[in-house]
Amino acid sequence: MKENFSLNRLILGNNKKMLEQYNAYVKEIANTIIMDLPDEDKEKIRKDSDYSGYHFGFGLYIRNNYIYGKVDIKVDADDMSSDIFYEIVDILNS
Protein backbone atom coordinates (compact mmCIF):
# COMPACT_ATOMS: atom_id res chain seq x y z
CA MET A 1 0.00 0.00 0.00
CA LYS A 2 1.26 3.49 -0.89
CA GLU A 3 0.87 4.98 2.59
CA ASN A 4 3.89 3.03 3.85
CA PHE A 5 6.10 5.19 1.65
CA SER A 6 4.44 8.54 2.29
CA LEU A 7 6.96 11.16 3.36
CA ASN A 8 4.28 13.13 5.21
CA ARG A 9 3.12 10.06 7.12
CA LEU A 10 6.70 9.18 8.06
CA ILE A 11 7.36 12.71 9.32
CA LEU A 12 4.05 12.99 11.18
CA GLY A 13 4.27 9.43 12.51
CA ASN A 14 5.81 10.57 15.80
CA ASN A 15 2.85 12.84 16.49
CA LYS A 16 -0.26 10.65 16.67
CA LYS A 17 -2.70 13.58 16.73
CA MET A 18 -1.15 15.22 13.65
CA LEU A 19 -1.01 11.89 11.80
CA GLU A 20 -4.68 11.24 12.55
CA GLN A 21 -5.56 14.75 11.34
CA TYR A 22 -3.53 14.22 8.17
CA ASN A 23 -5.19 10.87 7.46
CA ALA A 24 -8.61 12.43 8.06
CA TYR A 25 -7.82 15.20 5.55
CA VAL A 26 -6.70 12.63 2.98
CA LYS A 27 -9.88 10.57 3.35
CA GLU A 28 -12.18 13.59 3.38
CA ILE A 29 -10.61 15.17 0.31
CA ALA A 30 -10.55 11.85 -1.58
CA ASN A 31 -14.24 11.28 -0.89
CA THR A 32 -15.12 14.85 -1.92
CA ILE A 33 -13.24 14.47 -5.20
CA ILE A 34 -14.86 11.09 -5.92
CA MET A 35 -18.31 12.61 -5.46
CA ASP A 36 -17.48 15.23 -8.11
CA LEU A 37 -15.76 12.90 -10.61
CA PRO A 38 -17.71 11.94 -13.70
CA ASP A 39 -18.35 8.19 -13.99
CA GLU A 40 -16.10 7.91 -17.05
CA ASP A 41 -13.16 9.39 -15.09
CA LYS A 42 -13.79 6.99 -12.21
CA GLU A 43 -13.78 4.08 -14.66
CA LYS A 44 -10.57 5.31 -16.30
CA ILE A 45 -8.82 5.43 -12.92
CA ARG A 46 -10.14 1.95 -12.04
CA LYS A 47 -8.83 0.46 -15.29
CA ASP A 48 -5.50 2.30 -15.37
CA SER A 49 -2.40 0.66 -13.93
CA ASP A 50 0.16 3.38 -14.69
CA TYR A 51 -0.62 6.40 -12.55
CA SER A 52 2.51 8.43 -13.38
CA GLY A 53 0.63 10.58 -15.88
CA TYR A 54 -1.75 11.87 -13.23
CA HIS A 55 0.85 13.84 -11.25
CA PHE A 56 0.92 17.04 -13.31
CA GLY A 57 -2.74 17.14 -14.30
CA PHE A 58 -4.92 15.58 -11.65
CA GLY A 59 -2.29 15.98 -8.94
CA LEU A 60 -1.98 19.70 -9.69
CA TYR A 61 -5.76 20.02 -9.55
CA ILE A 62 -5.77 18.36 -6.11
CA ARG A 63 -2.94 20.56 -4.82
CA ASN A 64 -4.45 23.83 -6.09
CA ASN A 65 -8.04 23.15 -5.08
CA TYR A 66 -7.78 21.09 -1.91
CA ILE A 67 -4.37 21.57 -0.28
CA TYR A 68 -2.81 25.01 -0.83
CA GLY A 69 -4.34 27.42 1.67
CA LYS A 70 -6.87 24.85 2.89
CA VAL A 71 -4.91 22.33 4.95
CA ASP A 72 -3.87 23.77 8.30
CA ILE A 73 -0.97 21.43 8.99
CA LYS A 74 2.46 21.82 7.43
CA VAL A 75 2.87 19.10 4.80
CA ASP A 76 4.55 18.47 1.48
CA ALA A 77 1.72 19.23 -0.97
CA ASP A 78 3.07 16.94 -3.71
CA ASP A 79 3.25 14.04 -1.29
CA MET A 80 -0.21 14.77 0.08
CA SER A 81 -1.73 14.95 -3.41
CA SER A 82 -0.18 11.55 -4.07
CA ASP A 83 -1.66 10.16 -0.84
CA ILE A 84 -5.06 11.57 -1.82
CA PHE A 85 -4.80 10.11 -5.31
CA TYR A 86 -3.92 6.65 -4.00
CA GLU A 87 -6.77 6.91 -1.49
CA ILE A 88 -9.08 7.63 -4.45
CA VAL A 89 -7.70 4.59 -6.27
CA ASP A 90 -8.19 2.41 -3.17
CA ILE A 91 -11.76 3.61 -2.69
CA LEU A 92 -12.69 3.15 -6.35
CA ASN A 93 -11.20 -0.33 -6.45
CA SER A 94 -12.79 -1.57 -3.23
pTM for the whole thing? 0.89
pLDDT of residue 32: 97
Q: How many domains does the chain have?
A: 1
Give per-residue pLDDT as tens, 25-76: 999 999 999 999 999 999 999 999 888 888 889 999 999 999 999 999 899 9
Other C-beta atoms lying within 10 Å of the C-beta of residue 79: 16
DSSP string, the chain: -GGGG-HHHHHHTT-HHHHHHHHHHHHHHHHHHHHHS-HHHHHHHHH----GGGTTTHHHHHIIIIITTT--S---HHHHHHHHHHHHHHHHT-
**Residue 79 structural domain:** 2-92
Confidence of residue 17 (pLDDT cuts 50, 70, 90): very high
pLDDT of residue 33: 97
